[in-house]
Amino acid sequence: MEHKHTYDAQGKQLCCTEEGKIYTKAGAKELLQEDGCCTAKHTKHAGHSHDDGHNHDHTEAGNPFKMFLPPVISLALLLLAISFDHYFTPAWFTGWIRTAWYVIAYVPVGFPVIKEAFESIRNGEFFSEFLLMVIATVGAFGIGEYPEAVAVMLFYAVGEVFQTLAVTRAKANIKSLLDQRPDEVTILVGDAMQTIKAEEAKIGDIIQLKAGEKLGLDGELVSDTASFNTAALTGESKPDTKVKGNAVLAGMINLNTVSRVKVTTAYTDSKLSKILELVQNATTQKAPTELFIRKFARIYTPIVVFLAVFIAFLPYFFVKDYLFSTWLYRALVFLVISCPCALVISIPLGYFGGIGAASRNGILFKGSNFLDAIATVQNIVMDKTGTMTEGVFSVQEVVFDKQFDEKEILQMVNALESQSTHPVATAIHEFIGKTDTSIKLENVTEIPGLGLQATVNGKNLLVGNFKLMDAFSIPYGINPDSIVYTLIAVAYGDTFVGYLTIADVIKEDALETIGKLKALKVKTTMLSGDKSTVVRFVAGKLGIPDSFGDLLPEDKVNKIKEIKAKNETVAFVGDGVNDAPVVALSHVGIAMGGLGSDATIETADIVIQDDKPSKIPMAIRIGKETKKIVWQNIALAFVVKAVVLILGAGGLATMWEAVFADVGVALLAILNAVRIQRMKF
């Protein structure tokens, strides 16, 4: 297969040189495949990767000794040569023996780079980082600067090793997710247990989980109760107790007794599989800074080569005592300094580290472009139910007219609501208790957006909102807007009986979230389809200044458009597919309920796995820190290189300063980039 460097219309480099080599050595090749990278040139060095999400790499990243061996050999030979030149000065260390010694010292670190340079040229990419280093070091040999030639390539090789180790460490934060699914599961076949590959398990199979075992597929708990560690999916180590019939997900660890789970989802469609795919594809969505650096490197490298040629030959026409070897040395120094390694590696590594730090905290970014976007967001617009509240309703009070038997009416309401799967119906059922099966319901009808209707004992029973009462012309004598809770009105025999108040519980970290967003100078707005008085009440408790209720999906879209019309960036936080139009319209879509909706994982830009709103300001802080580190690296690289380039062109900088400006700056930038992985957010 031919290996060529290509770019898309946005300047995204579709195949890579130094970056591809480093990521391949680090066992992170799968993170570049979506870019079209590393087809012929690097694939032969890489490990085999399977679609199961596991990466069984056999690259050098697993053996640091092998990685350091060539530089160590070169360093030992170089130090001996320098000592022979300046201290011991043996008579035999002259002429071709001295030259051969330095060549042998050069080969362990120089040959791989020369090979990469020739392969790049053969495959259509003439100007590469590898070519810059080869010209500089071979040229140094040509003018007799043997120690500098070996030293430049040696430090370049050492820098490459440290870059590889840095990428390996950055990958480790994400790789913990990639190893969450077990390869095998134990299923119940008749009365016997059989161990099979996880991908061979079928929907309906019963998996038996021992204490401490990890679930391989999504399913439904068959055992009466079981406790699971959900840290792999939510970042929370707090045990989650499930009861019979509850959904359990791949990656959860059974904590106590032997449990049984019925498989409900194919291996490749599990929630964890979708999360793994999201993480693996995250690095393919490049931030504008990365795209700029790639475009810049594409233009920058050939310019540098031509400038070096001018530095070597142009002074001949302007300098009286022109000496070719002197100006060639300056040109070679210029080439070493100008190598763009610090930018090409440290910037993607910075974003990669940010994605890794976020995933470790249960926040999944679909690309580094969203790290940039969330860092500059000015407005957070949020849904109410399921986002800032638990989405679990409970009955607060029952207000019935005294002429009716409250217990009897509640049993009728319970029987009717048992026909519905709405969360409000569930709340009523949990409040009243077991359904009285002796109650005979006839002509049960669900009226969309209003409620339920049925005939009980020959009389009309209505349970729903107050619009349902209006639809049947039933007078009720109260002002529903004066009550802040969600109201369920009841009428029996064409007479208003009363109402039940139902409330949702505000999440425990919701108030803290709004406080942190205010500290970050981010404006907050609440939009909801719930009753306006309820929305205003919740927003008031949380300190959200702007809130709007009774909204249809198109109304939410209009509110987002109003904010965008002010030329302000906006992120929308929702918990379901119903908010898809608003998520699509926002600059950043954030999904709460990463474990609840497949559609949410697929459509949102950022997924908060544990449903905690406090992860919203955390995501913003991670984005800001990542962006800060990336720009620190850009400034460091440009400033140091610019200073040493000027000194080199004027003959005031040697190869040693050039090595610092290249490899030294690259290492400093990389060390700065990996800082984000150690930060507490």
Give per-residue pLDDT as tens, 76-98.
999 999 999 988 889 999 999 99
- Grade residue 285 by pLDDT with cuts at 50, 70 and 90: low
Question: What's the CATH number of domain 202-266, 3.30.70.890, 2.70.150.10, 3.10.20.30, 3.20.20.70?
Answer: 2.70.150.10
Strand partners, 592: 608
Q: Which of 644, 561, 605 is nearest to 364 (CA)?
A: 605
Bigger pLDDT: 549 vs 60: 549
| Residue 10, pLDDT score | 42
Reported as a single tens digit per residue, the pLDDT across 420-465 is 777 788 889 889 988 888 999 999 898 877 889 999 999 999 999 8
What percent of the chain clears pLDDT 90, i.e. is strictly above it?
Answer: 31
Helix (H, G, I), strand (E, B) or coil at 619: helix
Lowest mean pLDDT among 51-60, 405-414, 645-654: 51-60
What percent of the chain clears pLDDT 70, i.e. is strictly above it?
Answer: 81
| Residue 231, pLDDT score | 64
What does the alpha-carbon distance between residue 147 and residue 103 come to, in Å, rounded to a whole number? Answer: 10
What does the alpha-carbon distance between residue 615 and residue 213 come to, in Å, rounded to a whole number? Answer: 29
pLDDT > 80? residue 648? no
pLDDT > 80? residue 553? no
| Residue 82, pLDDT score | 92
The CATH class of the 392-505 domain is alpha beta
What does the alpha-carbon distance between residue 383 and residue 554 come to, in Å, rounded to a whole number? Answer: 14
Overall size of the chain counted in residues = 681
Lowest mean pLDDT among 19-28, 136-145, 162-171, 610-619: 19-28
Active site residue 85: no
Bigger pLDDT: 560 vs 661: 560
| Residue 489, pLDDT score | 95
What does the alpha-carbon distance between residue 68 and residue 82 come to, in Å, rounded to a whole number? Answer: 21
Lowest mean pLDDT among 63-67, 136-140, 210-214: 63-67
pLDDT > 50? residue 119? yes
Burial class (CB in 10 A: 0-12, 13-18, 19+), 471: middle
Q: Which residue has the tokens 């990389």?
A: 670
Could you tell me where in the chain the CATH 2.70.150.10 domains are found? 202-266
Angle at 77 between CA 76 and CA 83, to 5 degrees: 90
* Cα dihedral sign, 634-637-640-641: negative
| Residue 174, pLDDT score | 54
| Residue 497, pLDDT score | 95
Q: What is the residue-averaged pLDDT of the chain?
A: 81
| Residue 314, pLDDT score | 92
Reported as a single tens digit per residue, the pLDDT across 302-337 is 888 888 899 899 999 988 889 988 888 888 888 877
Reported as a single tens digit per residue, the pLDDT across 213-224 is 888 888 999 998
Average pLDDT estimate for 140-157: 85
Question: What does DSSP say about strands 588-592 and 606-608: parallel, antiparallel, or unpaired?
Answer: parallel
| Residue 616, pLDDT score | 96
**The token pair that represents 4 in the structure block:** 């060529």
pLDDT > 90? residue 42? no
Bigger pLDDT: 596 vs 308: 308
pLDDT > 70? residue 12? no
| Residue 235, pLDDT score | 52
Could you tell me where in the chain the CATH 3.40.1110.10 domains are found? 392-505
What does the alpha-carbon distance between residue 4 and residue 37 come to, in Å, rounded to a whole number? Answer: 9
Q: Given strand 546-548, what is the order of strands in its sheet? A: 363-365, 606-608, 588-592, 570-574, 379-382, 523-527, 546-548
Q: Phi first, then psi: give them for residue 319, nearest 5 degrees.
A: -105, 130
- Grade residue 287 by pLDDT with cuts at 50, 70 and 90: low
| Residue 92, pLDDT score | 92
Output the pTM of the full model: 0.70
- CA dist 266 → 219, 262, 287, 586 (Å): 9, 12, 34, 33
Amino acid, res. 533: T
pLDDT > 90? residue 407? yes
Of these residues, 205, 383, 530, 605, which one is catalytic? 383
The HSE-up count of residue 244 (CA atoms within 13 Å, CB side) is: 3
Reported as a single tens digit per residue, the pLDDT across 471-512 is 999 999 888 888 888 889 999 999 999 999 988 888 999 999
| Residue 268, pLDDT score | 78
Q: Are 366 and 621 in contact (CB under 8 A)?
A: no
